[in-house]
Amino acid sequence: MVMNTSVKIGKLKLKNPVMVASGTFGVEHEQFMDLNRLGALVLKTVTLTARAGNPPPRIVETAAGMLNAIGLENNGIDDFIKNKLPRLDKIKTPVIVSIAGESDAEYVKLAERLDGIKKVDGLELNLSCPNIQGAGMIAQDAQATYEVVAKVRKATRRTIIAKLSPNVTDITVIAKAAEDAGADALSLVNTFIGMSVDIENKRPRLGNVTGGLSGPAIKPLALRMVWETYRKVTIPIIGIGGIMDCTDALEFILCGAAAVQVGTANLVHPAAAVEIIQGIEKFLKVNRVADINSLRGALRTQ
């Protein structure tokens, strides 16, 4: 039986629905796997100018997950274009660049800089950043989300994926705003805000006090948000949150995700993404499923 594992995300056609999440994976992983097996590669978030990041410690292991407070450390867009992108020249897998800014103008400038670069196939807007034009994160405000996405949409022809924060009352409201503004897809979800405490020293374990919780601990919450959002939007959803094996990935697809991103699992087992792809292929074969897309949103709730 011929199986179709390809999915469409905006203008992009992925050979399979498994992507690797921003900040958890790099070209260095080529020593563990063939990067061309991936559906897509999402690079670590880049900003307009260099950022030093948060004070250490930056990563803490927790029950069924981890907290991180890296602070988007990077050397800025100029260094990224000059030194990072050329390392991906031989990779045929679609490359998606994650961008973040502290204002609408910074997002637009980043999109404009990357729009003409052939190697860049799409942009993931990391909207879980402080908004200097207003209060809180951009992704915690529907209007702020709409404005950023709409302005970036005018600045680029590339596929736009809006990565949303789960730290909101109703993520479907933010998701609909991103869709209405012109996003081609949604990444759900970014990390949950959490903290860990050292009782002996009476101090937080992270230098930044709080950080983003990821890993298996957040999967039930992320699944619920994907399922709720799938019923409110028409654009593809990329499920993220505690995906460690093919079963986890298939759960997200059944809840409505067109594709998934593997994050924390890459830090535990560098070849996790390829093994998840193999597991999905085996599942399709064993269950005689001809097209992976037929499973999207196929969850039976009655």
The CATH homologous superfamily for domain 7-295 is: Aldolase class I (3.20.20.70)
Q: Which residues contact 117 (CB under 8 A, 6 or more apart)?
A: 81, 85
Q: Which residues contact 30 (CB under 8 A, 6 or more apart)?
A: none
Spans of all domains in the chain: 7-295
**Enzyme catalytic residues:** 129
Q: Where are the alpha helices (DSSP H) in 65-200?
A: 76-79, 104-115, 142-155, 171-181
Q: Print pLDDT tens along the chain (302 aa).
A: 789 999 999 999 999 999 999 999 988 888 889 999 999 999 999 999 999 999 999 999 999 999 999 999 999 999 999 999 999 998 999 999 999 998 999 999 999 999 989 999 999 999 986 554 555 789 999 999 999 999 999 999 999 999 999 999 999 999 999 999 999 999 999 999 999 999 999 999 999 999 999 999 999 999 999 999 999 999 999 999 999 999 999 999 999 999 999 999 999 999 999 999 999 999 999 999 999 999 999 999 98
Q: How far, in Å, are 2, 109, 153, 176, 277 from residue 37 at the CA level?
A: 18, 32, 29, 32, 8
Report the SS3 class of residue 77.
helix
Amino acid at site 90: K
Contact call for residues 296 and 253 (beta carbons, < 8 A): yes
Q: What are phi and psi of 186, to 5 degrees?
A: -125, 140
Contact call for residues 289 and 283 (beta carbons, < 8 A): yes
